[in-house]
DNA sequence: GCTCATGTTCCCCT
DNA sequence: CAGGGGAACATGAG
């Protein structure tokens, strides 16, 4: 479930356990997620070096080493873990071994990306254009980005070149918390902007602390997978709808037209 | 067997 | 040109 909070958790794993330790061995078990790199090149560029820093921009993990950087995206099903005694899992694609354990990247669906660049290269060559990280975005900055968009609110939030880090579930959660209709245009007014910014900060802060999107009883995401999803706020029936070509869970009562009688919870 | 899936990219339509 | 929708990618889950 790799959205921003998950990738932040992956970043922390590397920062806490792997940074500044010499890389002893690199094993590439499947090269379909490599971009512009061969398994051999990954090995020769990493073995004997050490990561000096672990950074994240949106859903991208960027690990800096001497004269090298590893740039990784986890697609829909990728994950990163630390293990001290490595036994292979079927979906494991890359193992970076250190003296006391290994960083393992798994990706059952192979929709992720791993690239190894020279230290001086700009990661944007791999990541494509990215907007400011959703975690750090200020209210004024958010207003600028939304005001120039002529798309739906949800399509704008999902666009990594506008704001980096929000995925389908996180966008639904933020829109639900801010009581805004996913399909409405992105041109929010003052009070809507304030609600959206507050919800974004709140959702990201709690999700990053948890290491994933919480699915508790007060979260919209907790209703995903339920046969009859219920709004945790107004107890009305939630609905599924296609917005921005993505399946979107929303509350028509809470997130409907503000002027409709009895619409707001 | 079937449908759907948290991401991204590309292609076609309006 | 801009935006929306759908398919494709590869594979597993229900």
> Does the pLDDT of residue A243 top 80, yes or no?
yes
Q: What is the mean pLDDT of the segment spanning A194-217?
A: 95
Of these residues, A9, A59, A93, A253, which one is catalytic? A59
Cβ–Cβ under 8 Å, residues A59 and A164: yes
Catalytic residue check, A246: yes
Nucleotide nearest to A246 (CA to C1'): C5
The confidence score (pLDDT) of residue A48 equals 97
Which nucleotides of chain C have an atom under 7 angstroms from any protein CB? Answer: 2-7, 9-12
CA→C1' distance for A140 and B12 (Å): 36
The confidence score (pLDDT) of residue A264 equals 57
Catalytic residue check, A5: no
Q: Which sign does the torsion angle of CA A186, A189, A190, A194 carry? A: negative
Confidence of residue A151 (pLDDT cuts 50, 70, 90): very high
> Does the pLDDT of residue A35 top 70, yes or no?
yes
> Cα–Cα distance between A106 and A75 in angstroms, integer?
11
Please state, rounded to an integer, the average pLDDT across all residues of chain A: 92
- List A92's β-bridge partners, or say none: A106
Cβ–Cβ under 8 Å, residues A21 and A99: yes
> Cα–Cα distance between A85 and A254 in angstroms, integer?
49
Cβ–Cβ under 8 Å, residues A25 and A97: yes
> Does the pLDDT of residue A261 top 70, yes or no?
no
> Cα–Cα distance between A112 and A177 in angstroms, integer?
29
pTM of the model: 0.95
Confidence of residue A211 (pLDDT cuts 50, 70, 90): very high
Catalytic residue check, A143: no
Largest CA distance in chain A: 67
Phi-psi region of A100 (alpha: psi -120 to 50; beta: other; left: phi over 0): alpha
pLDDT, tens digit (0-9, with 9 covering 90-100), for A226-238: 889 999 999 999 9
Q: What is the mean pLDDT of the segment spanning A80-92?
A: 87
Catalytic residue check, A21: no
Phi-psi region of A177 (alpha: psi -120 to 50; beta: other; left: phi over 0): alpha
Cβ–Cβ under 8 Å, residues A56 and A69: no
The confidence score (pLDDT) of residue A36 equals 87
Q: What is the mean pLDDT of the segment spanning A168-183?
A: 95
Q: Which sign does the torsion angle of CA A132, A134, A139, A144 carry? A: positive
Q: φ, ψ for residue A174 (rounded to 5)?
A: -65, -45
CA→C1' distance for A93 and C3 (Å): 37
Cβ–Cβ under 8 Å, residues A98 and A22: yes
> Cα–Cα distance between A42 and A250 in angstroms, integer?
43
Q: φ, ψ for residue A62 (rounded to 5)?
A: -125, 110
The confidence score (pLDDT) of residue A262 equals 52
Protein residue closest to B6, using CA and C1' = A1
Protein residue closest to C3, using CA and C1' = A151
């Amino acid at each position: 479930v790799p959205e921003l909070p998950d990738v932040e958790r992956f970043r922390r794993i590397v920062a806490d356990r792997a940074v500044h330790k010499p890389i002893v061995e690199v094993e590439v078990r499947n090269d379909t997620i490599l971009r512009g790199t061969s398994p051999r090149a990954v090995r020769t560029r990493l073995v004997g070096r050490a990561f000096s820093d672990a950074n994240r921009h949106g859903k991208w993990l960027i690990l800096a080493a001497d004269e090298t950087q590893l740039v990784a995206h986890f697609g829909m099903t990728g994950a990163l873990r630390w293990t001290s005694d490595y036994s292979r899992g079927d979906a494991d694609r890359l193992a970076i071994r250190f003296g006391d354990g290994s960083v393992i990247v798994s990706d059952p669906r192979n929709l992720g990306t791993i690239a190894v660049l020279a230290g001086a290269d700009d990661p944007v060559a791999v990541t494509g254009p990215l907007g400011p990280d959703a975690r750090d975005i200020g209210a004024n900055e958010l207003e600028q980005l939304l005001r120039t968009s002529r798309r739906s609110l949800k399509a704008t939030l999902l666009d990594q070149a506008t704001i980096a880090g929000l995925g389908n579930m996180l966008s639904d959660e933020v829109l639900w918390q801010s009581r805004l209709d996913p399909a409405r245009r992105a041109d929010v007014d003052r009070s809507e902007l304030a609600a959206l910014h507050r919800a974004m900060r709140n959702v990201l802060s709690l999700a990053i602390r948890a290491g994933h999107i919480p699915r508790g009883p007060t979260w919209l995401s907790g209703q995903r997978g339920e046969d009859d999803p219920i709004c945790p706020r107004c107890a009305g029936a939630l609905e599924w709808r296609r917005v921005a070509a993505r399946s979107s869970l929303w509350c028509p009562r809470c997130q409907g037209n503000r002027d409709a009688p009895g619409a707001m919870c």
